[in-house]
Amino acid sequence: MLQRREMLRGGMPALVAVGASLGLGACREAPIYESVGGQFPGNGNMADRESQIRRAAATQTGWTVQPVRYGLLRATNSWRSHQMTVDISYDVRTFSIRYVNSVNLDYDGARIHAAYNDRVRALEGAILRTQPDTVSRATPAARTAPQSATASARSSRRLTEGVSELPVGSIPDGAFPALPAGQPR
């Protein structure tokens, strides 16, 4: 019994160290997460979707977004000595986030540092929470403050001041190519 106790005491620190390093290593690395087929909230066109992705990335720390081509953005996130790059492909209904490259995240082809997955999930969640920018689709008149009735009447009066009506028949035939000569106007 004494011999067994001595053996456990001598081997226990090494066993704990090996177990702890395996446990910590497993916590730091995980299978790489790729967001595929995320559904955009609301309706929107391609410009709205790009705007949604950019606004969502702006709400998350460290992201920069660059256009690659129509329907594809490249986003990079940097912190301390780490960097990750993902491609965000999208259409009017869905988006996907896929791994491109990383620095100091221990990527081995299948597994990566858990911080990568955390940041991709956070970006995905931000995109899903961001509503389309409907103001960009509004006409310029819809984006301005409504005018009062008197202000509208004043601006109409200013536009017509100094303009007199032309007497009927004062425009020579053929003056407007869309109207053939001799046809009633």
Read off the CATH number of the domain in which 61 is found.
3.30.310.80
Is 41 a domain residue? yes
| Cβ(84)–Cβ(114) below 8 Å | no
Residue 159 forms part of a structural domain: no
| Residue 160, both tokens | 């017509």
> What pTM does this model have?
0.60
Gap between the Cα atoms of 106 and 32, Å rounded = 11
Cα 173 to Cα 164, 165, 166, 167: the distances in Å are: 20, 18, 15, 14
Tokens matching residue 83: 């960097």
Q: How many domains does the structure of the chain reveal? A: 1
- Percentage with pLDDT > 70 across the chain: 57
Higher pLDDT, 121 or 5: 121
Q: Is residue 136 pLDDT above 70, yes or no?
A: no
CA distances from 172 to 75, 163, 164, 178, 184 (A): 63, 19, 18, 13, 12
Q: Which residue has the higher pLDDT, 175 or 63?
A: 63
Q: Which residues contact 41 (CB under 8 A, 6 or more apart)?
A: 128, 129, 130, 131, 132
pLDDT in tens, 30-86: 999 999 999 998 899 999 999 999 999 999 989 999 999 999 999 999 989 999 999
Q: Indicate whether 50 belongs to any domain.
A: yes
Residue 7 CA to residue 15 CA, distance in Å, equals 12
Domain assignment of residue 119, yes or no: yes
The answer as to whether 110 is a domain residue is: yes
For residue 149, give the 3-state DSSP assignment. helix
Residue 185 inside a domain? The answer is: no
Domain hosting 93: range is: 29-132
Which residues contact residue 9 at a Cβ distance below 8 angstroms, ignoring those fewer than 6 apart? none
Percentage of the residues of the chain whose pLDDT score is greater than 90: 50
pLDDT at residue 143, as a whole number: 44
Q: Residue 60 corresponds to which amino acid?
A: Q
Report which secondary-structure segment, H or E, holds 119: helix 114-129
Does residue 20 have a pLDDT over 70?
Answer: no
